[in-house]
Structures are given as C-alpha cells and as structure tokens.
Copies of this chain bind each other. A is one copy, B any other.
Amino acid sequence: MDQLDRKIIAELRQNGRATYAELGRLVGLSASSVHERVGKLEAAGVITGYHAVVDPRTVGLGVTALVGIQPTDTAADEDVAEALGSLEEVESCYAVAGDEAFVVKVRVPTVDELEHTLGRLRRIDGVARTQTTVVLSTRFEGRPNNTGLDRGTEAGDGGA
C-alpha cells in the first residue's frame, strides 16, 4: 500500500463510482494499472465493498435508535452477537467496553416498529437488559474522515 493506493482509496471513499480512467488521471497511472491496484485492494480486504447511500427517510426508515445491550452473566458474547445480526433492523453492531456488551443501531419505519424490535432484542437468549436512545436527527453519518489517506501528498502545506 503506497501513496498511490491511498489516493485511490481516498477518492473511492468519496466517489465509489469513479471510473478507473478517472482514478488513473488523478494519480498519474494508466487505467489498467489502477484496475489492477483496485483489484488487489479488494482482494486484500482493504476495500470491503461499494454501497449507494440512501436517505433512510425516503425509503420508509424514519426512526433510528441506539440500543445498549446488557447480557446476562452467563451469556456467550458470540451467540448474542450472532442473534443481533439475525435481526434485519439492526444496521450496525459494536462490542463495547463498559457495562453494556454491545451497542447496536436499529433503523425502523415507525416507533411502533421500534417497540417490536426492542421486544425482539430483549427476547434474545443471553440479553438481560436493553437501554434505548432514540435518535432525533442524524446530523451526518459515515463521513469519510481523514486518516492519512489523502494526506502525505501535500505534507508541507494545506491542500489547495
């Protein structure tokens, strides 16, 4: 993974549909070289996928909540995690430090549906308690934060 890879990745994070030709112009390589590099990055698990991002509201998912999952003393985290993953309304799942074992993000159409989902979460074997924080608004989400991905080429001074 060199600077060129990093630049390619940075661009693909912003524009997942950038063409190899565009990327090549950006980094100064031929389209075929970029093609090969991207293939290797995918194979190496650096790039794990490409996704269109949809405004959840436009698609009938107006209600978001963050739910802390407190397991029973005897529960196996792996089993709980797997059960959480089996619920489609659970969009993300993090194992965390603190008195909750997991924090999950759920996305549902209505508060009614949220209630049902919380019921399902509580019925998971090994789940003792849930603690729910309702999201009132998503200010921003999944922003491509800088990681050194797009630094380095212009280390000396601010870009542009």
Contact = CB atoms under 8 A, between A and B. Distances in A.
Q: Is the interface of A mostly helix, strand, loop or mixed?
A: mixed
A158 interface: no
Nearest to A46: B58
Contacts of A145: 61, 88-91, 107
A58 B59 CA distance: 32
A94 to B, nearest CB: 5
> Which one of A88, A90, A145 has the highest number of Cβ atoms from chain B below 10 Å of its Cβ?
A145
Given A16-B17, A133-B98, A136-B95, A48 B53 contact: yes
A159 B51 CA distance: 22
A49 interface: yes
